[in-house]
Chains A and B, each alone.
Chain A
């Protein structure tokens, strides 16, 4: 089924002290789809990711994975239930080799054992084109490779939903093209939905089926990339009221 919903957020709210980081945000993600999440700095994008992965507990609202409520489940169980993620500041296990990094995802994220874990890890490495660097220690890899490695590690846990937290940050144009190809390949080869936070708006518009825009913790728009690009609220959020008048 093409339109099978895998992730649903219902009226999520989260405050830090007096600041409402997320205000009544709802979102839906279907299998084989990519939803982009954009917004100015401090709009609540990363907070939303941390709510979905249970690093934060929402003040209100619920998170559903394939129809089952997963709000408040501990982060490691969230991963085992099928939500993989990458981090804005890459968090690879630096003293391990690329293969060891990815096999962690297979062993712990999906409780695979022995040959199955090896197979899953190698498949994930091949998907991101890092199979030839499997024995390189992570601290010796470029930023671009480490970002790809994080994607592979998330994929090795056989996720239903993958959250990408600014995978393009710090990459040069060539590396961005490569990352785009790999995100697209991941969508085509795996049965999963991708939720993608990104600052590089052109990259998001290039690949996403839907784009949601957050501003001050409120979802101000969600539509196809073309419509979002012409939405007055979105232009206002990014460029200010003056830009809309013109």
Chain B
């Protein structure tokens, strides 16, 4: 059984580089300011980044966070507040980096109690609660945060779609490259070990809390970057817009649809779902949510391992393999398969700590 992920090796690297060159050239070919497609790609890149950030925490390290919108919101507010105060400028790399860094710092601070004391569902609820608390804090923040109305930024500075496109592309590429190397390092191996069995991971020398916080804060950093760029794009930041659960749930949906715990899953899921949202919105605005919802239900029903399982060499078994008539086409390729390994999974005697 091969575990080689697809798009790896020399051909894969070449393919990815060509794709990046193609994407970089697009605004030149298409009319960037007019093209809806450029906007679509811009929002897709942001979705890819946020989804991949969540995938690192939940898909690889197994810590399901429902509070990613906290980091998105913090990123947006750090950028908006520092620009409002005159500390940073328009599309300022320092502001963007600080936004990510402060989101990551927040993840460390909140991760210590949440990741240290809570597990599984309780951790998920804890992160959800934390993000909601943060939203209320920013609503009640009076002059410091601008209250429920938020912060207005000088929209006259808008420099057109092109810079946003390139920055979002850059952020997405940076995220993917970082996470690609991270999951292939010993840290990535440690994350997966923690996901598979915390007790065994700990008994084999993996520092649980430190590793979990590392994954959590790296995810938060990239999510914060996206929040920052969104602040520059919308010129109006308010708690209802950036601390909304949408930014907590979208990455989750996209990652699961694409293939959780796989590298390309969140990428495919983000682009696909963004596409479905936009198309449904364009053609049948009144049925938009219905169609998007139906799509999500169908994918999860028929592709529980995500869309990535369609691609040969993806991390799950190929989708077509699981449909009766196609089974013979694939043959018995699973060498070394002896049993399904469900011997003793029933009675887990977890140790109380």
Per-residue contact bits, chain B 174-196, to A (CB 8 Å; 1 contact, 0 not): 00000000000010011011001
Per-position binary interface string of chain A over residues 132-143, scored 1 when its CB falls under 8 Å from any chain B CB and 0 otherwise: 010111111111
User: What residue of chain B has the Cβ atom nearest to residue A85's Cβ?
Assistant: B203
- Measured CA separation A75–B194 after assembly (Å): 14
Complex contacts, A135 vs chain B, CB 8 Å: 1, 3, 336
With A89-B349, A94-B196 already in contact, the answer to whether A105 and B204 are too (CB < 8 A) is yes
A93 touching B193 by the CB < 8 A rule? yes
**Chain A: CB-nearest residue to B336:** A136
- Closest residue to B208 on the A side, CB-wise? A76
- Chain A nearest CB from B306 CB (Å) reads 14
Instruction: Decide yes or no: A79 and B205 within 8 Å by CB, A91-B200, A93-B192 being known contacts.
Output: yes
Within 8 Å CB of B206, what residues of A?
76, 104, 108
Q: Is the interface of A mostly helix, strand, loop or mixed?
A: mixed
Question: CB within 8 Å of B: which of A81-115?
Answer: 84-85, 87-97, 100, 103-105, 107-111
Q: Which B-chain residue is minimally distant from A91 (CB atoms)? A: B200
Label chain B's interface by main secondary structure: loop
- A95 CA to B353 CA in the complex, in Å? 26
| Chain B residues in 8 Å Cβ range of A90 | 343-344
- Taking CB atoms, residues of chain B closer than 8 Å to A84 are 203-204
B141-193 interface with A by 8 A CB criterion: 186, 189-190, 192-193
| Count of CB-CB pairs between chains A and B under 8 Å | 119
> B338 to A109, Cβ gap below 8 A?
no
Interface: B329 (CB within 8 A): no
B205, A109: Cβ atoms under 8 Å? yes
User: Is residue A240 contacting chain B, with contact meaning CB distance below 8 A?
Assistant: no
Which of chain B's residues has its CB closest to A96's CB?
Answer: B192
- Give the CA-CA distance A212 to B337 in the complex, in Å: 39
Q: For residue B75, give the distance in angstroms from its CB to the closest CB of chain A.
A: 32
Q: Which residue of A lies closest to B353 (CB)?
A: A55
Tell me the chain B residues, 318-353 only, with Cβ under 8 Å from chain A: 334, 336-341, 343-344, 347-349, 351, 353
Query: Given A56-B351, A107-B189, A94 and B341 touching (CB < 8 A)?
Result: yes
- Interface size class, chain B: 20 to 34
**Does A42 reach chain B (CB closer than 8 Å)?**
no
**Count of residues in A whose CB is under 8 Å from the partner chain:** 48
Closest chain A residue to B342, Cβ basis? A139
Chain A residue nearest to B207 in the complex (CB) = A76
Provide the A147-169 mask, 1 if CB < 8 A to any CB of B, else 0: 00000011001000000000000
The answer to the question of B202 belonging to the interface, with a C-beta cut-off of 8 Å to chain A, is yes
B199 contacts the other chain (CB 8 A): yes
One digit per residue, 1 when the CB lies within 8 angstroms of any chain B CB and 0 when it does not, for chain A 185-223 equals 000000000000000000000000000000000000000
List A contacts of B201 (CB < 8 A): 93, 104
Cα A61 to Cα B299 in complex, Å, equals: 56
Report which B residues bind A (CB closer than 8 A).
Answer: 1, 3, 186, 189-190, 192-193, 196-197, 199-208, 261, 334, 336-341, 343-344, 347-349, 351, 353
Q: A: which residues have CB within 8 A of B?
A: 50, 53, 55-56, 74-77, 79-80, 84-85, 87-97, 100, 103-105, 107-111, 133, 135-143, 145-146, 153-154, 157, 170
Q: Contacts A56-B351, A85-B203, A108-B190 given; 18 further ones with Cβ under 8 A?
A: A55-B199, A55-B203, A75-B202, A76-B205, A76-B208, A84-B204, A93-B192, A94-B196, A100-B189, A107-B186, A108-B186, A108-B206, A109-B204, A133-B336, A140-B337, A140-B341, A142-B339, A157-B205
